[in-house]
Amino acid sequence: MSLSKSEEQVMEIIWNLEKAFMKEIMDQFEPPLPSNSTVLTLLKRMQEKGFVGYKMLGNSRQYYPLIDKEAYFGKQVNSMIKDFFGNSPLQFASFFTKSSDLNEEQLQELKRMIDSEIEKKKS
């Protein structure tokens, strides 16, 4: 299951804060600010989808993530690879390196990361 763009924006705030009350979430938005009711609706949908939980502290809800940011985006990337690249990570990697604006230094860093992963797989 995935989040809408608006839900991802709220989720990003919750991931960054780790736990947050409604006022703390609202304080993170740039103008134009969404209405409280819009954010509450998004939070309710995110709870129903299993992305956000909350605990009651007095009369206030303190929201927290139920899914790790890296795990969420990993699923999103894998879904994109499946849908747009014939389930081929190699096609995705080829597209990414050719179409992104990486400079030589960034490509070298990417190569180091790949070499490191190769070494891990060998052991």
Residue with tokens 């894998």: 78
Give the Cα separation of 23 and 6 in Å (integer). 17
Residue 84 in 3-state DSSP? helix
Q: What is the pLDDT of residue 115?
A: 92
The pLDDT of residue 2: 87
**pLDDT mean over 47-68:** 97
Domain 5-65 in CATH 1.10.10.10? The answer is yes
- Core vs surface per residue 17-48: b (16+ CB within 10 A) or e: beebebeebeeeeeeeebeeeebeebbebbee
Burial of 62 (0-12, 13-18, 19+ CB in 10 A): middle
Its pTM surpasses 0.85: no
Q: Is the pLDDT of residue 96 over 90?
A: no
Q: Tell me, what's the pLDDT at 26? A: 97
